[in-house]
């Protein structure tokens, strides 16, 4: 990865005052405790006491011992002068470089500040950052901010911005190389050849197999479901599985797979061999789950359409049967009126009934009512 990954804002704000500290920052970082005062009051001259206080509070706030104590913001000088009862902040102009060097050494010894190059510091920071890089996908700029916070917490004087930048770049490169190596050695030679074939364009085709595999279904139809299932079968045919001992975080594999899903085939071909193979392995591992989900989505949509159409057909059939039932019920109701008419004698009921309503009409009406009743009972 490129070494120069920091923004200009990050470079300008590293180990120096960018703006004047806020009121909360002045109260938190520039308040002199009893231990601070004990170390300061033994010094001779206001310029020495103020210079020592500036060094001590500045290293707590920005992480470095300033080369020019007089260049700190005016608000800092005012707060320190008020605490030390020094009437004139301009006395700091008499603070010599020799005294600054002596006081800087005393602050490091008394308050436990160490240099970045001290034994063990780089190793501990490497272990901490390595774990972050291996388990996450933070950008280099974010890792730089986290490393700076770690150095503050551990009371380590900040190194040069370029030195820390190179440190992080080299560490991320080691993590990436380990990831590529681990993914590359998890496949057999046959699988390696299959993955390499994904980048080739067969005669008569305009796209590679990689392009074809990463193109999921776009329609809901029977042929689309068949293509989705064949795509899933092709991916499973590669047969790539990671051993449990690999311990590769899923987020790292997903990041490589995202690149393989969006980059052009020519861009993947230009990658170094180890990274190219790791990218294809990650693509195959993640694509199986994606292809499986795509096939299930098409199947679900097809079943939903099928049941929806069946429900609509059932409603239409029910509406038709209700209309037939209404006609049959009206016919039977007319027959019941004739039967229940007391003005018609029992001997003439059948004759009158069949005269008004033919026998075939009544039989059809009765058959229609019984048919709808049986359908309702079946439901």
CB of 20 closer than 8 Å to CB of 75:
yes
∠ at Cα 111 (106, 115), nearest 5°?
A: 75
Instruction: Give Rg (Cα) of the chain.
Output: 42
Each domain of the chain, given as residue ranges in start order, spans 8-111, 121-184, 189-307, 313-378
How far apart CA 113 and CA 109 sit, in angstroms, is 7
d(CA 245, CA 306): 46
Does residue 159 contact residue 149 with C-beta atoms inside 8 Å?
Answer: no
Digit-coded pLDDT (tens) for 18-47: 888 999 999 999 999 999 999 999 999 999
Is 376 a residue whose pLDDT tops 60?
Answer: no
pLDDT value of residue 364? 78
| 40 alpha-carbon distance from chain centroid | 50
The residues with which 156 forms a beta bridge, in sequence order, are: 114
What backbone torsions phi and psi does residue 114 show, to the nearest 5 degrees?
A: -125, 165
- With vertex at residue 31, the alpha carbon angle to CA 25 and CA 33, rounded to the nearest 5 degrees, is 145
- When the pLDDT of each residue in the chain is averaged and rounded to a whole number, the result is 83
Residue pair 65/58 in contact by the 8 Å Cβ criterion: yes
Indicate the range of 74-88, 104-118, 280-294 predicted with least confidence.
Answer: 280-294
- Tokens 């004047």 correspond to 20
Banded pLDDT at 327 (limits 50, 70, 90):
confident
Q: What's the pLDDT at 143?
A: 92
CA-closest candidate to residue 235, choices 202, 283, 173: 283
Name which of 108-117, 257-266, 284-293, 350-359 the model is least confident about.
Answer: 350-359
Which of the four pLDDT bands, split at 50, 70 and 90, describes residue 370? confident
CB 11 within 8 A of CB 161: yes
CA 302 vs CA 149, 228, 229, 291, 298: distances in Å: 54, 13, 14, 17, 6
Highest mean pLDDT among 170-174, 186-190, 213-217, 349-353: 170-174
265, 211 Cβ separation under 8 angstroms: yes
Average pLDDT for residues 145-162, to the nearest whole number?
93
| H/E element, 130 | helix 121-135
Average pLDDT over residues 192-210: 80
pLDDT at position 315 is: 67
Selection from 262, 255, 309, 305 nearest residue 282 by Cα: 255
Look at 55 and 366; give whichever has higher pLDDT. 55
Of 145, 117, 289, nearest to 216 by C-alpha is 289
pTM given for the model: 0.70
Supply the pLDDT for residue 121. 93
Q: What is the DSSP letter of 118?
A: S
- H/E stretch holding 28 reads helix 23-29
Express each pLDDT in 260-310 by its tens digit. 888 888 888 899 999 999 998 888 888 877 777 777 887 788 788 787 777
pLDDT of residue 150: 94
Distances 37 to 9, 25, 53, 59, 112 between C-alpha atoms, Å: 35, 19, 9, 16, 17
Has residue 369 got a pLDDT over 70? no
Residue 365: pLDDT above 90?
no
**For residue 229, what is the enclosing H or E element?**
helix 222-238
Once rounded to an integer, what is the mean pLDDT over residues 178-203? 84
* Predicted confidence (pLDDT) per residue in 226-250, tens digit: 877 777 777 777 777 766 556 788 8
């Amino acid at each position: 990865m490129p070494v120069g990954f920091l923004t200009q804002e990050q470079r300008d704000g590293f180990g120096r005052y960018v703006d004047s500290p806020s009121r909360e920052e002045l109260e938190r970082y520039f308040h002199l405790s009893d231990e601070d005062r004990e170390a300061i009051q033994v010094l001779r001259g206001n310029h020495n006491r103020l210079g020592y206080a500036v060094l001590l509070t500045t290293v707590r706030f920005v992480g470095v011992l300033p080369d020019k104590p007089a260049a700190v913001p005016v608000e800092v000088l005012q707060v320190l002068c008020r605490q030390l009862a020094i009437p004139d902040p301009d006395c700091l102009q008499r603070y010599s470089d020799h005294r600054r060097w002596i006081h800087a050494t005393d602050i490091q010894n008394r308050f436990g500040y160490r240099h970045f190059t001290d034994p063990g510091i780089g190793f501990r920071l490497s272990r901490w950052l390595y774990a972050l890089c291996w388990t996450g996908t933070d950008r280099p700029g974010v890792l730089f901010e986290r490393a700076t916070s770690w150095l503050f917490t551990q009371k380590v004087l900040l190194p040069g911005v370029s030195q820390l930048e190179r440190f992080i770049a080299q560490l991320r490169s080691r993590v990436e190389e380990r990831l590529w190596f681990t993914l590359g050695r998890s496949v057999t030679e046959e699988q390696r050849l299959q993955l390499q074939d994904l980048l080739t364009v067969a005669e008569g085709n305009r796209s590679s197999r990689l392009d074809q595999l990463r193109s999921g279904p776009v329609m809901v139809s029977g042929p689309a479901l068949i293509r989705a299932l064949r795509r899933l079968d092709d991916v499973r045919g590669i047969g790539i599985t990671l051993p449990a001992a690999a311990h590769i975080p899923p987020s790292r594999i997903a990041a490589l797979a995202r690149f393989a899903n969006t980059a052009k085939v020519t861009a993947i071909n230009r990658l170094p061999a180890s990274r190219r193979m790791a990218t294809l392995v990650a693509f195959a591992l993640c694509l199986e789950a994606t292809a499986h989900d795509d096939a299930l989505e098409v199947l679900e949509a097809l079943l939903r359409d099928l049941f929806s159409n069946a429900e609509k057909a059932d409603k239409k059939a029910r509406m038709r049967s209700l209309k037939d039932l209404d006609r049959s019920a009206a016919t039977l109701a007319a027959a019941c009126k004739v039967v229940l008419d007391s003005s018609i004698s029992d001997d003439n009921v059948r004759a009158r009934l069949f005269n008004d309503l033919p026998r075939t009409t009544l039989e059809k009406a009765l058959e229609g009512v019984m048919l709808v009743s049986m359908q309702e009972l079946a439901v």
